[in-house]
Amino acid sequence: MRFLNRTLVVFCLMTLIGCAAPAQFENMIHKQAPDNAFDPELKGQVEIDAIQGGSETNPLWVSKISNSTFQRALEESLSIQGLLANEGRFNLKVTLLEVDQPMFGLDLKVVTSVSYIVLDNTTKAVLFDEIIKAAHTATFGDAFDAVTRLKLANEGSGKNNIKTFLEQLSKLDVKSGQLSLTN
């Protein structure tokens, strides 16, 4: 009887705590167009290098954002904006520098720091080189269990980071070799 009670308690705790799930790319896609239109030179001309710096999720630890997940979300977001290319004039190098996560709490705030570098493949000029930080907070109202809240906070932060990158990219003005960020 004692064994059965302990097994039941362990099962209930595992159900309540849950296993960590990785961030899903579908929840990080930014679908809305920025306020500014993109420079016509960028349309269908941005190719993505393999993304670096992400981490795979260990189901026994905490939710993470993997390279492949962030890359798929970024590809879809660029595609929706009409910017993505398999072999384009501009090369986008992306590195997930940090995914700052809390260890515990009711409201879980995650901050992603991502480096974006856009290179012109023809001139080898660096057109854009920024580190973008973006946050998202998942509240107790979003999910009862902390494991799901952390996953939601990861996804929201990743989505906000991509959104901020697209907003900055929409300000990029590429004209006959001249580069500037318009205000």
Tell me how far apart the alpha carbons of residues 84 and 77 are, in angstroms, rounded to a whole number: 9
pTM equals 0.80
Per-residue model confidence as pLDDT tens digits over 148-172: 888 899 999 999 999 999 999 999 8
Q: Say yes or no to pLDDT of 183 above 60.
A: no
Mean of pLDDT over the chain: 81
For the residues of 117-142, what is the DSSP string, one character each? EEEETTT--EEEEEEEEEEEEE-TTT
pLDDT digits (tens, 9 = 90+) for 14-48: 444 557 666 666 777 888 877 778 999 999 999 99
Higher pLDDT, 72 or 105: 72
The reported pLDDT for the residue numbered 3 is: 54
pLDDT in tens, 85-128: 999 999 999 999 988 878 777 788 999 999 999 999 989 999 99
Is the residue at 10 inside a domain? yes
- Domain of 110 in residue numbering reads as 2-174
| Count of structural domains, the chain | 1
Q: Hey, what long-range contacts does 139-145 have (CB within 8 A, 24 or more apart)?
A: 139/106, 139/107, 140/106, 140/107, 145/16, 145/17, 145/18
Summarize pLDDT for 39-62 with one digit per residue, the tens: 999 999 999 988 887 767 556 567
Q: What is the CATH number of the domain that holds 60?
A: 3.30.160.150
- Identify which of 163, 183, 164, 162 has the alpha carbon closest to the alpha carbon of residue 172: 183
Asked if the structure places residue 180 within a domain, the reply is no
What pLDDT does residue 18 have? 57
Looking at the domain assignment, is residue 130 inside a domain? yes
- Domain for residue 183, yes or no? no
